[in-house]
Amino acid sequence: MSDAYCGGCACGAIRYEISAEPIFMNDCQCRDCQRASGTGHGSYLTFPSRAQVKLTGEPTHWTLVGESGNEKAHAFCPTCGSPVYLALSAHPDLFTVHAASLDDPAGTRRRW
């Protein structure tokens, strides 16, 4: 079994493999995350270094500007529309994935 966190979009056009452990997991209940997920929250895992991420495929991005003025870019698959990860202007080295984009989201409970 690989120790990497692997995932991607629903159609497989975008894939990632992350060799690091997440520095935190969170559920965000802001209105933007509710809209993006279609539920009452968005669930995420944040990793410490984008340099430890192997990413294949070409995502499309849409960007929000928060009250702080910082930008949050949402990366999604242009083919199937699945949300995959976030990029934060205030923390450009971090890599945040949607928990639902993991191949085995249940595996996060065993590891944490």
Fold of 5-111: 2.170.150
The string of pLDDT tens digits covering residues 31-86 is 888 887 788 898 999 999 999 999 999 999 999 997 788 999 999 999 999 999 99
Domain boundaries, the chain: 5-111
Q: Report the DSSP beta bridge partners of residue 60.
A: 76
Cα(2)–Cα(19) distance, integer angstroms: 9
pTM listed for this prediction: 0.87
Query: Which amino acid, 102?
Result: L
Report CA torsion sign: 26, 27, 29, 33.
positive
Query: Residue 95: pLDDT above 60?
Result: yes
Cα(86)–Cα(44) distance, integer angstroms: 9
